[in-house]
Amino acid sequence: MDLPICDDFGALHPQTSVMMMAHMLFPDEPEHRTDVYLHSILQICEERGIQVVNSDTGFIKRVRAMPTEQAMLDLVRQRFIEGESIGQLYCSVLSLSQCAEVGARASVESILQAIELALIPSEVGRTTLNKRWQKFRRVRYLWAAWVARGCHFMRFEYFEDDSETHTYTEDFDLQMFLREAREALQAGNYQSPTTSRGDPLASTESLTIPPCWKAPERRGPVGVFRIAPPDPHLVEAILKVREEQSHRTGNRVKRKPA
């Protein structure tokens, strides 16, 4: 299934950023996605002095049923925390896979085991993180791209590269983010299954960027999904997990009856 961010000709919708973030934040809750859309529409109307008049009682009831602005902000903040933790987990697996000491053993499961054994710090436990991993399965790669770029969008009044001088707008940076997200999805598709159940890093249920959207040319350092080198402490923790697994396997073999 494609993200609803562009028309059939590949032109991005004016509110692409809102639509994309609504799906990133609430892939599991369509009602809250609608709340995000409505809040955005009402905010634009308020900023422009437009009075919303609608005789549709269903629409009025839906608006009245929306969470308050503060309640919505609190919910969005919590979802950002959860989503970014999943993006970090996704990036960590890809980073570990590039480490010769870990290689093919890089997986979500090994990181969760390291958390369970208290070998690496984590604000939440294994069970909570695993639930988040499943909750955000359709948009994991988007959160990975978000984390890899520092969790923000960029805007420059003045930008110069080898070819010319540019104005680098939020809209253009959004398209660079979409480029990066496509690469994050490809990287996740190449990564081997991460659990005994064969759950891939990039879920087969992922909401994908429509193929009709044509990415613009890159400018400067953005537009590329960049994986940071693996954290030495994380590498050490994964190697300890492997040692622990080998030790348990060895004990089971020794106890096997003749």
List, for residues 2-48, the tens digit of each pLDDT value: 998 999 999 999 889 999 999 999 999 999 999 998 888 778 777 77
What was the pLDDT predicted at 255? Answer: 44
DSSP per-residue letters across the chain: -B-S-B-TTSPBPTTHHHHHHHHHH-TT-HHHHHHHHHHHHHHHHHHTT-------HHHHHHHHTSPPHHHHHHHHHHHHHHHHHHHHHHHHHHHHHT-TTTGGG--HHHHHHHHHTTSS--SS-HHHHHHHHHHTGGGHHHHHHHHHTTS----EEEEE-SS-EEEE-HHHHHHHHHHHHHHHHHHHHHSPP-STT---SS-TT--BPPTTPPPPPP-TT-SS--PPPPPHHHHHHHHHHHHHHHHHHHHHHHHS--
Average pLDDT, rounded, for the chain: 84
| More confident position, 67 or 23 | 23
Residue 156's DSSP bridge partners are 168
Measure CA 194 to chain center: 17
For residue 21, give both structure tokens: 């973030």
pTM metric for this prediction: 0.85
Residue 136 has pLDDT above 80, yes or no: yes
List, for residues 85-127, the tens digit of each pLDDT value: 999 999 999 999 888 888 777 889 889 989 988 888 888 999 9
188 in Cβ contact with 201 (< 8 Å): yes
Name the range with the highest mean pLDDT among 154-158, 169-173, 181-185, 244-248.
181-185
| More confident position, 197 or 48 | 48
Percent of the chain with pLDDT strictly greater than 90: 43
Residue 142 has pLDDT above 90, yes or no: yes
Burial of 54 per CB tally in 10 Å (0-12, 13-18, 19+): exposed
Listed range (32-36, 80-84, 144-148, 188-192) with the worst mean pLDDT: 188-192
For residue 217, give both structure tokens: 């040319």
What was the pLDDT predicted at 162? Answer: 64
What was the pLDDT predicted at 157? Answer: 57
Domain ranges of the chain: 83-255
79 in Cβ contact with 27 (< 8 Å): no
